[in-house]
Amino acid sequence: MTATPTIGVLALQGDVREHVLALEACGAFAQRVRRPEELTHLDGLIIPGGESTTISKLAVAFDVMEPLRERIAGGLPTYGSCAGMILLADRILDAPGDQETIGGMDATVRRNAFGRQVDSFEAELAIDGVEGVPLHAVFIRAPWVESLGPAATALGTVATGPAAGRIVAIRQQHLLATSFHPELTGDRRVHEYFCEMVKGER
């Protein structure tokens, strides 16, 4: 890989542009991806926030679901934020019965888990491996990780309030997922962490 990794952003639905800008700020070459052939030359991939049911249906309709599964299972470093976390989970709760995920992470993720009263909120979070002051995390109808299998590790939990202790950031080898949206803040530390994963530095 060159010093400038090529990182795709799955561009079926969701906040694609924000991830593209965050990747560019980290020095990566960002590329929108919709078709199977666009996956072949990537060094990494981001699955954005949005609506996981819609992204999933469009991935099937664009014939990109199976190629995504193959590339991700084959070791492509991949980061999912919010809806992207749902799509990377092997098991999901509170989802329509026919909602497919791409899978790869040994985790059970509950959609819209924080409930109506706090369906969107912001919180300060410490994430293992992210140095410095806590991250300002933006949650929008976010999922949480209900449980983790042995292959995956929690990197961060909600610190206070009714959801204290809930897991909202996870890692499993080449896969990373957060319940929140670092692409919506100016803080690039999560994208930098992911770019370092792509370069094999983490």
Residues forming the site for ligand GLN (CB under 6 A): 49-52, 82-83, 86, 111-112, 140-141
- Point out the catalytic residue in the list 18, 19, 26, 183: 183
Instruction: Report the distance separating Cα 16 and Cα 144, nearest Å.
Output: 21
Q: Which of residues 4 and 120 has its CB atom nearest to ligand GLN in the complex?
A: 120
Instruction: Report the distance separating Cα 160 and Cα 199, nearest Å.
Output: 34
- Point out the catalytic residue in the list 181, 191, 192, 195: 181
Q: Which of residues 43 and 65 has its CB atom nearest to ligand GLN in the complex?
A: 65
Instruction: Report the distance separating Cα 101 and Cα 116, nearest Å.
Output: 24
In terms of Cα–Cα distance, which of 38, 34, 31 is closest to 5?
A: 31
Which residue in the block uniquely carries the two structure tokens 């819209």? Answer: 112
The answer to whether residue 181 is catalytic is yes
3-state percent breakdown (helix, strand, coil) of the chain, nearest 5: 25, 30, 45
Residue 172: strand, helix, or coil? strand
Shortest spacing between CB 167 and ligand GLN, in angstroms = 16
Shortest spacing between CB 121 and ligand GLN, in angstroms = 12
Q: Which of residues 51 and 187 has its CB atom nearest to ligand GLN in the complex?
A: 51
Contact 60, 89 (CB under 8 A): no
- Point out the catalytic residue in the list 18, 19, 82, 191: 82
Shortest spacing between CB 139 and ligand GLN, in angstroms = 8
Q: Which of residues 43 and 52 has its CB atom nearest to ligand GLN in the complex?
A: 52
The answer to whether residue 183 is catalytic is yes
Shortest spacing between CB 184 and ligand GLN, in angstroms = 9
Which tokens is 90 given? Answer: 């092997």
Contact 48, 9 (CB under 8 A): yes
Which tokens is 166 given? Answer: 């809930």
Q: Which positions are annotated as active-site residues? A: 82, 181, 183
